[in-house]
Amino acid sequence: MPLTMLSARDLQQIELKTQEIGRMIFARIADQKPAIFRESWWSGRVMDWSMRSEQFKVEMFRFVDVLPCLRSSAEVARHLQEYLCRSQGDFPGFFQWGLRNLPSASLPAKVIARLMESNVRKLARRFIVGSNAAEAALSLKKNWKKGITFTADLLGEATVSEKEAEAYQQRYADLLRYTALKVQNWPLPAECPSCLSWKKAFESGESRVNVSVKLSALYSQFDPIDFNGSLEGVLKRLHPILKVAHETGAFINLDMEQYEWKDLALAIFRRIEEEGSSREKRCYGIAIQSYLKESERDVGELLAWAEKFQRPFAIRLVKGAYWDYELISSRQQGWPSPVWEHKRETDACFERLTRLLLSRYPLVRTAIGSHNVRSIAHATATAEFLGVPKEGFELQMLYGMAEPIKKTLVEMGYLVRDYTPIGELIPGMGYLVRRLLENTSNESFLRQRFVEHLDVEKLLQSPLPSGSRQSHDRVAL
Ligand SMILES: Cc1cc2nc3c(=O)[nH]c(=O)nc-3n(C[C@H](O)[C@H](O)[C@H](O)COP(=O)(O)OP(=O)(O)OC[C@H]3O[C@@H](n4cnc5c(N)ncnc54)[C@H](O)[C@@H]3O)c2cc1C
């Protein structure tokens, strides 16, 4: 549909469709709960206590953060005692007593420490698909058979030495070669509705192998203060990875990290797009965070540039994973906050960007990175309104989260892709803590739906405050 502007009437129709699809999704999910919130898991209980007590949450997550660096059970026991001295959730009685009374070097304290360590590792396993590509491949194949494809991510970010950055470069190249070899023969079962959409997508040239890259892992001096030096430093490591991607036919998505690196990431993305030789095949994508006040301007500029070069690319739209950090660090520096301060502003921006991006299909392939049924329903309603076929956009979610939503969307024939982190616990700690914070936040859709059981009507409400309805949508460039 050639489109320059969405009128108030168009927006109303999209809203009606959003409500209809949203209710359908909720009805299909019914009582199913994501594994992370199931009480039978130790993780479920930790999540539950973290949601009930802010103090427990802070102490527990600090402990989780430091745990992989501890070398002995006595050290773990000492840190447990120091970190969880004030709040211990509803840990079993012997556990609480042991924490308070036993010397950290004693045998029972070490047993408690071992137990705790093994439980944190289990918790991490819920979000991390495997410690290496071979281990990950088993789970990825299982999901593939259910109609859920993947983007593989290597855990690790913000490297501190060039040796470490080189090792990352090598691991990305190995990951690409390994997954390309594995995935080429994986079958898509005919009976699964989303598999038909995937088949069409692959036939129209979308890659079967999809890898997400964090730029801060590739250069130890990645810093906007040396913009050009950082750009070249990253490109030096990225180019060999892109060469392997090209040889294996893989798609590369650049993740978006902290705000301070955003302009560098966008500049690097443009450079690799401009250097790329193919105008037919979509090779690269980048994540955009709707919690950033600058995101609409950035997307507008990217789209204007893309129309000029006529190179197809992808954008993964997310809300953003570093909200607390961005807000606190900008306040600390006395700078204006780069992020919206109310959740509904982030959600509304997400919806505006969804409409803008989907209106640029097929030049831009949009991936909606969200577990929020309202945001997802709005995207699918917009795609339907604009005539974007099911194989023309993706719904992406994180591994280990929102399983009932993924299952429902697959049954409805949408393309669902899992973001699947691979790696060890130490480099994965930042990722794990972000997921724990995300799932337990007061503002989290998943918490509101699956723990607090908020009313469906409330969860499907438009993020625009009543009385400030948009009269039209500016999707013209
Ligand atoms: C496939 C995939 C890839 C991802 N890649 C990236 C990436 O490259 N970079 C990245 O940063 N994140 C990334 N994420 C993480 C993503 O940002 C979070 O998962 C997402 O924000 C959660 O949003 P939601 O719609 O699922 O949940 P919701 O509960 O609807 O939204 C939660 C989000 O709202 C925002 N928010 C919360 N409180 C406020 C407030 N008071 N004011 C304003 N905004 C608020 C935050 O962004 C928070 O994460 C990715 C997620 C997925 C699914």
Left if phi > 0, otherwise alpha if psi is -120 to 50, otherwise beta: which for 365? beta
pLDDT value, residue 477: 38
Cα 244 to Cα 461: distance, rounded to the nearest angstrom: 45
Whether ligand 1 lies within 6 angstroms of the CB of 287 is answered as: yes
For Cα atoms 391, 389, 405, give the angle at the middle one, nearest 5 degrees.
65
pLDDT value, residue 426: 77
Running along the chain, 477 residues long, what does each successive block of 10 average in pLDDT? 71 97 97 80 77 84 86 86 71 70 80 84 88 93 94 90 95 95 87 90 94 96 97 97 95 97 97 80 94 97 89 95 96 97 97 96 96 98 97 97 96 97 85 89 92 94 71 54
Cα 362 to Cα 365: distance, rounded to the nearest angstrom: 6
Residue 204 CA to ligand 1 centre (angstroms): 30
Residue 460 CA to ligand 1 centre (angstroms): 17
Buried b (16+ CB within 10 A) or exposed e, 223-256: eeeeeeebbebbbebbeebbebbbebebbbbbbb
Residue 98 CA to ligand 1 centre (angstroms): 38
Longest Cα pair distance anywhere in the chain, in angstroms? 72
Whether ligand 1 lies within 6 angstroms of the CB of 396 is answered as: yes
Residue 444 CA to ligand 1 centre (angstroms): 9
Could you state, in order of their start, the residue ranges of all structural domains in the chain? 5-31+129-422, 35-126
Out of 150, 319, 406, give the residue to mutate to test ligand 1, the one with the largest number of ligand atoms within 8 Å of its CB.
Answer: 319
Q: Report CA-CA distances (Å) from 57 to 47, 84, 87, 384, 437.
A: 8, 10, 9, 41, 9
At 301, the amino acid letter reads: E
Residue 417 CA: nearest ligand 1 atom is 1
pLDDT value, residue 55: 84
pLDDT value, residue 278: 64
* Tokens, residue 127: 């979000």
Cα 174 to Cα 209: distance, rounded to the nearest angstrom: 13
What are the two backbone dihedrals, phi and then psi, of residue 440, each rounded to the nearest 5 degrees?
-100, 0
**Contact by Cβ (8 Å): 422, 137:** no
**Contact by Cβ (8 Å): 358, 410:** no
Residue 77 CA to ligand 1 centre (angstroms): 34
Residue nearest to ligand 1 atom 24, measured at CA: 370
Residue nearest to ligand 1 atom 37, measured at CA: 343
**Contact by Cβ (8 Å): 250, 269:** no
pLDDT value, residue 74: 86
* Tokens, residue 326: 């961005």
Out of 289, 318, 440, 444, give the residue to mutate to test ligand 1, the one with the largest number of ligand atoms within 8 Å of its CB.
Answer: 318
The domain made up of 5-31+129-422 is a member of CATH 3.20.20.220: yes
Residue that the structure tokens 């979509």 belong to: 282
Query: Over 318-364, what HEC string results?
Result: ECCCCHHHHHHHHHHHCCCCCECCCHHHHHHHHHHHHHHHHCCCCCE
Cα 78 to Cα 346: distance, rounded to the nearest angstrom: 41
Residue 320 CA to ligand 1 centre (angstroms): 4
**Contact by Cβ (8 Å): 18, 456:** no
pLDDT value, residue 3: 46
Whether ligand 1 lies within 6 angstroms of the CB of 378 is answered as: no
pLDDT value, residue 380: 98
pLDDT value, residue 1: 40
Q: At what angle do helices 162-183 and 133-145 cross, to 10 degrees?
A: 40
Global pTM reads 0.94
pLDDT value, residue 399: 96
